[in-house]
Amino acid sequence: MPDHTPSPVSRALDAARRKLLETGTRNRLIHVNRANARANCLNVINERADEVFSILRLQGRRMRFRALGKDKADAAGEVPLALAEAAPDEDSGRLTDHFLETPLGPDALARRLLRLAGDARTAEEEQGVNLLYLALGFLRWKEAPSSDVVREAPLVLLPVQLVRNERSSTFDLVCREDDLSTNLPLQERLRQDFAIGLPEVDEAEGWTPAQYFALVREATAGQRGWSVDADGMQLGFFSFAKLLMHRDLDPANWPDGAFAGNPLLQGLL
């Protein structure tokens, strides 16, 4: 019978790849505090993930931002996220328009977009990669059934950029052509702690976020207190630099035996 025992090189490579996945709650791919009104991000409310995905990704159209809050002297001025999520859907037509509604006031929204655009440009110039994503859908999960702390992890991350709209003197949101990828840190955390297999994001023809969310609900159905916020959205920064290294070290992306059969690596290990 063939020996399927992993070689020392394969075991070392697997350990190195796992170390690249930061699975602690400080990683925004594991937990996003959407209630933090002052964070360098922007919550999007009263929208539907499938509609936004279709406009940005499938149709390649731009989307603009709409301020629903009021500017206040204390610089808060946000519509509370919980109230916004609970608001009745009085106008279904706004779900298919090209505006993303936000809880900020007009001035606060303009400042937030200017900061996000500047930080995204600086990060790309310095690191050579895009860090700005529109998170579509969140897994609301607990580290223990008895815990009162609900974590929120993004499920679909749409690579985007903020483009200056000269006519309106503000910014439009445009989808980049980069591939979608599975939230690997979340996938590893769920595997380690709960023996749950987070489904892969497979952007095949006809794929929609709603289909993916249904698979996530099925995979996590046995966890008490867990849920999927299918239409929760946030524009913010998510780092995939180490995930690219993780992918580069995947033996599946190399010719057979490129790692395990390498005499130099065998000698080192």
Q: Where are the domains of the chain?
A: 23-260
pLDDT at 144: 95
How far apart are alpha carbons 171 and 66 in whole angstroms? 11
Residue 1: the pLDDT is 47
Half-sphere exposure of 15 (CA within 13 A, CB side): 8
0.75 surpassed by pTM = yes
Residue 31 clears pLDDT 80, i.e. is over it: yes
- Band the pLDDT of 168: cuts 50, 70, 90: confident
User: Of the given ranges (7-16, 51-60, 78-87), which has the lowest mean pLDDT?
Assistant: 78-87
168-172, 191-195, 206-210, range with the lowest pLDDT = 168-172
- Amino acid type, 249: L
Q: How confident is the model at residue 141 (pLDDT cuts 50, 70, 90)?
A: very high
**What letter would DSSP give residue 54?**
I
The Cα–Cα gap between 229 and 142 comes to 14
Please count the helices (runs of H) and the strands (runs of E) in the chain.
8, 7
Q: Residue 88 pLDDT more than 80?
A: no
Quote the percentage of the chain above a pLDDT of 90.
63
